[in-house]
Amino acid sequence: MQPSNRVAIITGASRGLGAVIARVLARRGYDLVVGARNRDPLEEAAASFARWGSRVAAVDGDVADAAARARLVSAARELGGLDVLVNNASELGAIGPLIDFDVPRLGRIFPVNVGAPLALAQLAAPLLAERGGLIVNITSDAALGAYPGWGPYGASKAALELLTRTLATELRGRGVSAAIVDPGNMRTRMHQEAFPLEDISDRPQPEVTEPFWNWLFDQTPAEISGERFAAQAEDARWLQRV
């Protein structure tokens, strides 16, 4: 029997890319569990997603906190199950040369960008397995580019990419798929924080990725598992394998 509703968890969903992904899923008829650290903007975003008729559970909290992750998965269970997990929440950290980087700050960047997505995937896997679900981990071209100043953030995203590919292999037998998405440069708060004195108005808004997300969620999860996608790639399928 097919499930009566589709359910997605999206972290970092109160603004920017996460809000765009949540809005796409709401328009496609998904019920949503949306997470972010700050309650007020999260509730405002959740109300906007509900305009498409979706049930929306807003779960505020730091994704690096185990209790917050447990609440996200519990909310999905209460909505009936889980089809899609989008690990979008990220920590940028300081931009600057590695030789000057305050190494203890890795203790924040890696738990948020690597540990939290893995831990949330572990919690969500039983629900995802029931529906042949998909894990989507958000990466960056900094994972590949070795950009000066972006070392810690890029290293965390490189680690996330390897973990995602490994999850895709290990979970195949359980019917759970995992994919990596690089959304490309966008005009977001995090990107502005990386360039505090620069005008980033030439970057596109996160909404530029909407065609890609609609394409991605049309795919059979098992057929895209283990792949890396570039949301702003210029070919007809919005697809780039690396």
Judge residue 137's burial from the number of C-beta atoms within 10 Å of its C-beta, 0-12 exposed, 13-18 middle, 19 or more buried: buried
Q: What's the CA gap between 167 and 160, in Å, rounded?
A: 10
Per DSSP, the residues of 39-51 read HHHHHHHHHHHGG
Q: Which of 49, 150, 153, 212 is catalytic?
A: 153
Active site residue 153: yes
- Amino acid at site 165: R
Q: Let me know: does 233 contact 239? Beta carbons within 8 Å.
A: yes
Judge residue 223's burial from the number of C-beta atoms within 10 Å of its C-beta, 0-12 exposed, 13-18 middle, 19 or more buried: exposed
> Catalytic positions, please?
153
